[in-house]
Amino acid sequence: DQQVKQNSPSLSVQEGRISILNCDYTNSMFDYFLWYKKYPAEGPTFLISISSIKDKNEDGRFTVFLNKSAKHLSLHIVPSQPGDSAVYFCAAKVDNSKLTFGKGITLSVRP
């Protein structure tokens, strides 16, 4: 049973436009959410996170929004750059438990 779902396997956007990556979850006990970015042949790298007590966290071009009532979070990248092309994993955790990852979404930013 997937507790963290990334239902779209891929997304393609034009350079300079906004990329919106979505993630849904089923466990209402999750208290922290993270986004990881992964290039081919590399390990995932931490991108941005948000606590369940917040609804928005911003870091440069990256903003994560959390809608607890809908059990939904999204990662906005604006403006998108070709170097952003990668696989993005949404992850969540409860207290001190392990991270639960989504399946990932492949973002392609066209020049």
Partner 1 sequence: DTEVTQTPKHLVMGMTNKKSLKCEQHMGHRAMYWYKQKAKKPPELMFVYSYEKLSINESVPSRFSPECPNSSLLNLHLHALQPEDSALYLCASSQEAGGMGTGELFFGEGSRLTVL
Q: Could you list the residues that contact partner 1 (CB under 8 A)?
A: 9, 32, 34, 36, 41-46, 49, 89, 91, 93, 95-99, 101-104
User: Phi first, then psi: what are they for 92, rounded to 5°?
Assistant: -145, 155
Beta strands (DSSP E) in the chain are: 4-5, 10-14, 19-25, 32-38, 45-51, 56-59, 62-67, 72-77, 86-93, 100-101, 105-110
Task: Compute the least distance from the CB of residue 17 to partner 1, in Å.
Answer: 25
Task: Compute the least distance from the CB of residue 49 to partner 1, in Å.
Answer: 6
User: Given the complex with partner 1, which of 96 and 111 has the nearer CB atom?
Assistant: 96
User: Given the complex with partner 1, which of 74 and 78 has the nearer CB atom?
Assistant: 74
Task: Compute the least distance from the CB of residue 30 to partner 1, in Å.
Answer: 10
User: Given the complex with partner 1, which of 14 and 51 has the nearer CB atom?
Assistant: 51
Q: How far is CA 28 from CA 44, 75, 79, 83, in A?
A: 25, 19, 31, 34
